Structure 1
Amino acid sequence: MHAAAARRQDRRSVPARIRDELDAFAKSSPSRFAIVVFAGLILVFTLLFSLPIASATGRMTTLHDALFTAVSVICVTGLSTVDMATHWSPFGNALVYIGVNIGGIGVLTLASLLGFVVSRRLGLRARLIAASDTNPSRIHVGPVAERQAVRLGEVGGLLTTVAISALTIEGVIALGMIPSLLATGAGWWTSIWESFYYSAMAFTNTGFSPNATGVTAFEHDYWFQSLLMLGVFLGSLGFPVIYALARGWRNPHRWSVHVKLTLTTTAILLVLGAGAFILLEYANPRTYGSLDAGDTIFQSFFMSMMTRSGGFATIAMDDLNGSSMLVSSMLMFIGGGSASTAGGIKVTTFAVLFLAAFAEARGAPSMEAFGRRIPRDILRLAVSVVLWGATIVAIASIAILQITKLPFEFVLFDVISAFATCGLSTGVTADLPPSGVYVMAATMFMGRVGTVTLAAALAASQRRQLFKRPEERPIVG
Structure 2
Amino acid sequence: MSKEKKSDGRLSLNTMQMIALGFLGVILLGGVLLWLPFSNQEPIAFADALFTSVSAVCVTGLLTIVPATQFTVAGKVILLLLIQIGGLGVIACTVAFFLILRKKITMKERVIIQQTYGLDTLSGLVKYMLLILKGTFLVEGIGACCYAFRFVLEFGVVKGIAYSIFQAISAFCNAGIDILGDQSYKGYATSPIVNFTTMALIVLSGLGFLVWHDIGKNVFRVWKQKLPKKRMWTRLRVQSKIVLVMTGFLIFFGMIGFFFLEYHNPETMGTMSAGEKLMASAFQSVTSRTAGFAAVSQGDLTSASKLLGCILMFIGGSPGGTAGGVKTTTVALLLLVCISVLRGSKDAECFGRKIASAVVRSAVTIILVTFLIWVGGIAVITILEPNVDFLDIMYEATSAIATVGLSADLTPLLGRGSQAVLMFLMYAGRIGPVTMALVFAGKARKSSQLRELPEKHIMIG
TM-score exceeds 0.5: yes
Q: 1:471 to 1:157 in 2, by over 3 A?
A: same
Partner of 2:156: 187
Deviates more, 1:299-308 or 1:454-463: 454-463
Q: Deviations over 1:173-203 (max 9, x none)?
A: 111111211333x111010000111101110
Kindly indicate whether residue 455 of structure 2 is the aligned counterpart of residue 471 of structure 1.
Answer: yes
Kindly indicate whether residue 27 of structure 2 is the aligned counterpart of residue 42 of structure 1.
Answer: yes
Matches within 5 A, 1:45-56: 45-56=30-41
Partner of 2:312: 331
Checking the alignment, whether the CA contact within 8 Å between 1:335 and 1:347 is kept in structure 2 is yes
Deviation at 1:119, TM superposition (A): 11
SS of the residue 1:426 aligns to = coil
Candidates 280, 287, 291, aligned match of 2:272: 291
Structure-1 separation of matches of 2:350 and 2:375: 32
Structure-2 separation of matches of 1:335 and 1:408: 22
Kindly indicate whether residue 380 of structure 2 is the aligned counterpart of residue 379 of structure 1.
Answer: no
Q: 1:472 to 1:227 in 2, by over 3 A?
A: same
Structure-2 separation of matches of 1:455 and 1:339: 11
Structure-2 separation of matches of 1:88 and 1:262: 38
Partner of 2:89: 106
Candidates 65, 68, 73, aligned match of 1:82: 65
Deviates more, 1:340-349 or 1:120-129: 120-129
Any gaps of 5 or more consecutive residues in structure 1? 1-24, 136-147
Candidates 231, 239, 242, aligned match of 1:258: 239
Checking the alignment, whether the CA contact within 8 Å between 2:12 and 2:438 is kept in structure 1 is no
Partner of 2:171: 202
Deviation at 1:287, TM superposition (A): 1.7
Structure-1 separation of matches of 2:149 and 2:283: 20
Partner of 2:431: 449
How many pairs were matched up? 438
Letter in 1 for 2:56: V
Partner of 1:243: 213
Checking the alignment, whether the CA contact within 8 Å between 1:31 and 1:108 is kept in structure 2 is no
SS of the residue 2:399 aligns to = helix
Checking the alignment, whether the CA contact within 8 Å between 2:325 and 2:402 is kept in structure 1 is yes
Structure-2 separation of matches of 1:116 and 1:400: 44
Partner of 2:225: none
Taking structure 2 as the reference length, what is the TM-score of the superposition? 0.90
Q: 1:438 to 1:190 in 2, by over 3 A?
A: same
Partner of 2:411: 429
Q: Deviations over 1:40-96 (max 9, x none)?
A: 111111111111111112x3x322111111111111111111111111111110011
What fraction of aligned residue pairs are identical, expressed as a percent? Answer: 29
Structure-2 separation of matches of 1:84 and 1:160: 32
Q: Deviations over 1:224-246 (max 9, x none)?
A: 21001001111111111112222
Deviates more, 1:188-197 or 1:40-49: 40-49
Taking structure 1 as the reference length, what is the TM-score of the superposition? 0.87
Structure-2 separation of matches of 1:27 and 1:117: 27
Any gaps of 5 or more consecutive residues in structure 2? 1-9, 223-231
Structure-2 separation of matches of 1:442 and 1:78: 14
Partner of 2:76: 93
SS of the residue 2:354 aligns to = strand
Q: 1:112 to 1:179 in 2, by over 3 A?
A: closer
Structure-2 separation of matches of 1:377 and 1:115: 34
SS of the residue 1:450 aligns to = helix
